[in-house]
């Protein structure tokens, strides 16, 4: 079974996060939602609270095959400023593991130095 990490940062776009997790779980993929710190309850962009399965600092990168980032502008900024997320992304790139990001979150990939070639993102985020 494949294992996918979905980091959850304050300000995440709820529909994007839930869609990623729901679709992958329906497909039989093990998905772990992980908060960036010790708080498992995270407030989304539209004031919906999601409870993460785990906290990122307690997880082992070797247990995961992929990472998928939801959007939400504030959530993206919180992901982009998190050094542990950047470490996960650079390590996944080095190990040629799957990295995915939707909406504004390709900006996180760029900040981590793993964005190359063509990409899609929320209109207006291309320059960032």
Q: For 84-97, how does the pLDDT look when each residue is reduced to its tens digit (9 = 90+)?
A: 999 999 999 999 99
pTM: 0.93
Q: What is the distance between the alpha carbons of residues 128 and 24, in angstroms, rounded to a whole number?
A: 28
pLDDT at 1: 86
* Mean residue pLDDT across the chain: 93
Enzyme catalytic residues: 103
Q: What is the distance between the alpha carbons of residues 63 and 43, in angstroms, rounded to a whole number?
A: 26
Q: What is the distance between the alpha carbons of residues 11 and 122, in angstroms, rounded to a whole number?
A: 16
What residues contact 66, with CB distance under 8 A and at least 6 apart? 2, 3, 4, 5, 92, 97, 98, 99, 100
Q: For 111-126, how does the pLDDT look when each residue is reduced to its tens digit (9 = 90+)?
A: 999 988 776 655 665 6
- Domain edges within the chain: 3-111
pLDDT at 124: 64
State whether CATH 3.40.50.880 applies to domain 3-111: yes
Evaluate if residue 43 carries a pLDDT over 70. Answer: yes
DSSP 84: H
């Amino acid at each position: 079974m494949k294992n996918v990490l979905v980091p959850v940062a304050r300000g995440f776009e709820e529909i994007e996060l839930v869609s990623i997790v729901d679709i992958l779980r329906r497909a039989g993929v093990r998905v772990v939602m992980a908060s960036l710190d010790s708080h498992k309850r995270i407030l989304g962009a539209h004031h919906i609270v999601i409870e993460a399965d785990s906290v990122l600092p307690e997880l082992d990168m070797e247990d995961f095959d992929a990472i998928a980032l939801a959007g939400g502008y504030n959530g993206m900024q919180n992901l982009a400023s998190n050094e542990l997320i950047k470490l996960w992304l650079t390590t996944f790139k080095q190990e040629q593991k799957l990295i995915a990001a939707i909406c504004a979150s390709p900006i996180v990939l760029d900040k981590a130095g793993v964005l190359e070639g063509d990409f899609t993102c929320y209109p207006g985020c291309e320059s960032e």
